[in-house]
Amino acid sequence: MTGKREMDTLLAESFKELAIKQPIEKITIKEITDKAGVIRPTFYNHFQDKYELLEWIISTQLLGPVTPLIQNGMVNEALVLLFTSIEKEKEFYTMASRLEGQNSFGSIAQACVRQILLEVIRDRAKGRDQKFVWLTPEWIAEYYAQSMCYVTITWIQSGMTITAKELAEIYDYIIKRSMDDILADM
């Protein structure tokens, strides 16, 4: 018997294979289950729809491995691992990044990143006074999730013309400096 994690992975891999060949919007649950060799009700025992499956892929397969690195302050290493993972499945993430509308890749990815960052920020902020009332853990997590997803999606859609390591260095450079510092370096 296949466990939940194994079935989730099987459905995810089937979905990814299909997404390489056609727009995600056009993929049906039947196509996913046929490719996985299971019946439709099996899909619905695990996911509500293909967008929840995409969220699982981003959250579990892409962000899951980088979360411990972020929690331990190894942000650059986390970024290199994240971008390398995307690079390894370039075709899938290129197609996924084209998903727009209510369930866009960007909005799903941003929600997943925001959740991880919020947990880390809340943990670090425990017992500390906020410097500014408006500067909440939620606001900080949203800011960094937006910037990270913008950089990542732009990189994907531009054809990943620089390496994962170079992108991590660029992101680290931009995020750790003020605009004045960057303008002075130009």
155 contacts: CB under 8 Å, gap ≥ 6: 83, 162, 167
At residue 76, what is the residue type?
A: N
Helix axes 29-36 and 4-21, enclosed angle (nearest 10): 120
CB 112 within 8 A of CB 58: yes
154 burial via Cβ count (<10 Å: 0-12, 13-18, 19+): exposed
CA distance 36 to 12: 9
* Domains recognised in the chain with CATH numbers: 1-47 (1.10.10.60), 50-185 (1.10.357.10)
pLDDT of residue 2: 67
CB 171 within 8 A of CB 148: yes
Q: How many CB atoms lie within 10 A of CB 12?
A: 21
**Which DSSP letter does residue 133 get?**
T
For all residues of the chain together, what is the average pLDDT? 93
CA atoms within 13 A on the CB side of 128: 13
Q: pLDDT tens across 59-105, in order? A: 999 999 999 999 898 999 999 999 999 999 999 999 999 999 889 99
Q: pLDDT tens across 103-145, in order? A: 999 999 999 999 999 999 999 888 888 888 888 999 999 999 9
pLDDT of residue 1: 47
Q: pLDDT tens across 142-186, in order? A: 999 999 999 999 999 999 999 999 999 999 999 888 889 889 888
